[in-house]
Amino acid sequence: MHMFLRLLKLPIKSSCFLFGARNTGKSTLVEAEYNHAIAFFIDLLDVEEEIRFSRDPNELYRIVTALTDNIKYVIIDEIQKIPKLLNVVQRLMKLKKWYFIMTGSSARKLKKGGANLLAGRAFVYHLFPLTSLELDNYFNLDDALRFGTLPEIYSYQTHEEKHLFLNAYAHTYLKEEIWGEQLIRELDPFRRFLEIAAQSNGKIINYLNIARDVGVDDKTIKSYYSILEDTLIGFYLESFHHSIRKQVNTKPKFYLFDTGVTRALNHLSMVPLVAQTSGYGDAFEHFIILECIRLASYHQKDFRFSYLRTSNDVEIDLIVERPNKPLLCIEIKSASIVTPIMINSFIRLTLDIKNSEAICLSQEKYPKKIDHVTVLPWLAGLKEYFT
């Protein structure tokens, strides 16, 4: 399997949590960053290890305090499996002899178990599927839109293999993260919900409609969405909250964390995406929003993301609040030639937003200006605004 150079740099001189969905490459990154000669690894996905430490979390204290002096890092993979270990980690931290690197694919059990997130003594980092910049020469837009960018997808050659991997991923996620962790009582409604969440990816959430389609109440649907959020399988994109003159929709949208997993849940991973169709446009928009959020996170930019839709259905795909900079309004167009008529309503709406900058990320070859909007090739735009 090809090793990609990740943009995320983990700390050398502090403890940290590294959160990310399953298969985003957390263990690979940690093994690459912390040399085995100076690090001690505990993998809680290993059933024996899990049983051993859940039976007696203090076993961790006994083992770590017996480590030889050359060991500087203690790495605990999938810490959410045993939240009680965090109390032991906290005791060990007081001895100031080791840095603790803890990975997790769910913050839910840590928060729910009232687990102390070490009161800020450990930094929090997030790892996502690969970005176009990390993939570099391996990057192919059509493949990224269709199959997503989980690292493992790049070890498969054929479309069939990629399709099987994505289906297995969706299945594993259900089995291990959701059912195995007893986050839900019944699997069937949740499975139906997942399909509907994938169909309504990037659309404004209507809890009541989804509840009706799944056959549960809207409170259950809200709890399902929060499971997706806590297991890092998706995130809310809130509606822009500052008042502008036009009445705005205030409900959030929800995006899944990877374009390929979204298509697999929609049973579409074997169906080619065709340029200039609405499916292609949706996948491109999803991909660009994911790239913006991932790159901003890796470059530690303190950005806030939202979207805006007015009461007469004019929309700004992404609004980025940047400290001490104008508001960034982003229109996303998968077209290779963007015409004034295509972004007419975006032009008009952004004129109303004070102290803002308006750009359109597209498949244009060269940057150009339409009115006050800068139309950019998407990759150049990502590099300019998010790195």
Predicted local distance difference test score (pLDDT) of residue 258: 97
Burial profile 111-145: b = 16 or more Cβ within 10 angstroms, e = fewer: eeeebeebeeebeebbbbbbbbbbbeeeeebebbb
Tokens for 384, please give them. 């300019």
Of all residues in the chain, the percent with pLDDT exceeding 70 is 96
Domain span at residue 173 reads: 132-227+256-275
Q: Please give the Cα distance from 277 to 296 (Å, whole number).
A: 29
Tokens for 68, please give them. 């030889």
Q: How confident is the model at residue 310 (pLDDT cuts 50, 70, 90)?
A: confident
**Residue 6: pLDDT over 80:** yes
Q: Is residue 378 part of a domain?
A: yes
Residues 111 and 141 in one domain: no
Residues 271 and 195 in one domain: yes
Tens of pLDDT, residues 356-368: 999 999 999 999 9
Last residue of a domain, one of 126, 161, 194: 126
- Stretch 92-110: mean pLDDT, rounded? 89
Residues 208 and 296 in one domain: no
Q: Please give the Cα distance from 341 to 347 (Å, whole number).
A: 10
Whole-angstrom CA distances from 227 to 109, 119, 232 are 10, 24, 8
Q: Is residue 244 part of a domain?
A: no
**Residue 117: pLDDT over 70:** no
Residues 147 and 265 in one domain: yes
Tokens for 126, please give them. 């997030």
Residues 93 and 202 in one domain: no
Tens of pLDDT, residues 146-167: 999 999 999 999 999 999 999 9
Predicted local distance difference test score (pLDDT) of residue 247: 61
In one-letter notation, the amino acid at residue 337 is I
Predicted local distance difference test score (pLDDT) of residue 1: 60
Q: Is residue 116 part of a domain?
A: yes
Burial profile 293-325: b = 16 or more Cβ within 10 angstroms, e = fewer: bbbbbbeeeebebbbbbbeeeebbbbbbbeeee
Predicted local distance difference test score (pLDDT) of residue 270: 87
Q: Are 177 and 231 in contact (CB under 8 A)?
A: yes
3-state secondary structure (DSSP) of residue 216: coil
Last residue of a domain, one of 94, 126, 158: 126
Residues 45 and 106 in one domain: yes
* Total domains in the fold of the chain: 3
Q: Is residue 159 part of a domain?
A: yes
Q: How confident is the model at residue 245 (pLDDT cuts 50, 70, 90)?
A: low
Residues 171 and 72 in one domain: no
Residues 121 and 144 in one domain: no
3-state secondary structure (DSSP) of residue 234: strand
3-state secondary structure (DSSP) of residue 123: strand
Predicted local distance difference test score (pLDDT) of residue 116: 60
Residues 197 and 81 in one domain: no
Give me the phi and psi of 371, to 5 degrees please. Answer: 55, -130
Q: Is residue 238 part of a domain?
A: no
Query: pTM for this one?
Result: 0.94
Last residue of a domain, one of 275, 308, 339: 275
Q: Please give the Cα distance from 181 to 275 (Å, whole number).
A: 40
Q: Is residue 83 part of a domain?
A: yes
| CA triple 82-85-86, angle to 5 deg | 115
Tens of pLDDT, residues 9-52: 999 999 999 999 999 999 999 999 998 899 999 999 999 999 99
Whole-number average pLDDT of the chain: 92
Residues 117 and 136 in one domain: no
Predicted local distance difference test score (pLDDT) of residue 386: 97
Residues 260 and 376 in one domain: no
